[in-house]
Amino acid sequence: MSAAPSSVPAPQLPHFDAPAYRAAFSRINGLVIVGEGMADRHFRRLAALLPEQRDELLRLGAMEGRHAVDFAGCGRHLEVRPDNALARRLLAPLHEQFLEAERQGDLVGCLVIQCLIIECFAVAAYRLYLPVADAYARPITAAVLRDEAEHLNFGEQWLRPRFAAVAERVEACAGRAVPVALAMLSALEADLRAIGIEPQELVAEFVVEFQAALEAIGYGAREARRLLNRLTARALS
Ligand SMILES: [Fe+2]
Ligand SMILES: [Fe+2]
């Protein structure tokens, strides 16, 4: 007895041992590992800024540290060495914006950068990677995806009851950080395609996630869409 055919065609899986795949994976894997490590440090800094939620933030940071270890394992499994130097260069502007917000005592800015923007990107990217990941990376990615949703939720829960007081700073921060995040992505366009992710789809998925996050903290749907249109107008153009 044969199984009923699925209406959704299975995606064409990349050739995991092809040199072009491995070269692209080394850069994407580096970005993921360094990005997860950066998220770990951001959560530990947030824990110092928000002492009443210290334990929770340290727990979230520890999850990011585990993600970095698990994704490093994915690179090892494919025998690919991650390009961490490139990743550090690409992530530096976003990290700098987080540190600058911290120096200014702008807790809202720190939360928007890590818990909304970085987490929305992570959710969008891992969701699109999941169907084209190798068999070793797939369950790891699925588990990480569930964790990132929890991190996003932390930011939303903190910002929502303070919406009126923080909206202006959310917009100012997003206005600086979203274009920087999109520029990082456009630097990896060819590599994303090589591992099976369409860059425009990633931008679209990020927009969906960020729109939902903005609505979760108190924006109306139209207002959120207008803000996002402004921020993503030049994405990958
Ligand atoms: Fe993570
Ligand atoms: Fe996260």
How far does the centroid of ligand 1 lie from the alpha carbon of residue 155, in Å?
14
- Classify residue 148 as exposed, middle or buried by CB count within 10 Å of its CB (0-12, 13-18, 19+): buried
CATH number, residue 215: 1.20.1260.10
> Which one of the ligands is nearest to 57 CA?
2
> What torsion do the CA atoms of 97, 190, 28, 73 make, to the nearest 10 degrees?
170
Residues with CB in 5 Å of ion ligand 1 = 36, 64, 67
pLDDT tens string 140-177 = 999 999 999 999 999 999 999 999 999 999 999 999 99
> Which one of the ligands is nearest to 33 CA?
1
In a domain, 6, yes or no: no
In a domain, 222, yes or no: yes
How far does the centroid of ligand 1 lie from the alpha carbon of residue 3, in Å?
36
In a domain, 185, yes or no: yes
> Which one of the ligands is nearest to 43 CA?
2
CA distance linking residue 161 with residue 73, whole number of Å: 39
Domain containing 219 equals 19-232
Q: What is the pLDDT of residue 60?
A: 98
> Which one of the ligands is nearest to 42 CA?
2
> Which one of the ligands is nearest to 148 CA?
2
Q: Is the pLDDT of residue 44 over 70?
A: yes
In a domain, 1, yes or no: no
Least confident of 6-15, 20-29, 220-229: 6-15
- Classify residue 146 as exposed, middle or buried by CB count within 10 Å of its CB (0-12, 13-18, 19+): exposed
Task: Give the predicted TM-score (pTM) of the model.
Answer: 0.93
> Which one of the ligands is nearest to 115 CA?
2
In a domain, 219, yes or no: yes
Per-residue pLDDT, averaged over 21-50, amounts to: 98
Per-residue pLDDT, averaged over 24-36, amounts to: 98
Q: Is the pLDDT of residue 4 over 70?
A: no
Q: Which residue has the tokens 């990011």?
A: 64
Q: For residue 191, what are the CA distances in angstroms to 3, 28, 41, 185?
A: 35, 7, 26, 10
Of the candidates 178, 179, 201, which has an alpha carbon nearest to the alpha carbon of residue 130? 201
How far does the centroid of ligand 2 lie from the alpha carbon of residue 115, in Å?
7
In a domain, 9, yes or no: no
In a domain, 170, yes or no: yes
Q: How many domains is the chain built from? A: 1
Q: Which residue has the tokens 């909304």?
A: 116
In a domain, 13, yes or no: no
Q: Is the pLDDT of residue 198 over 60?
A: yes
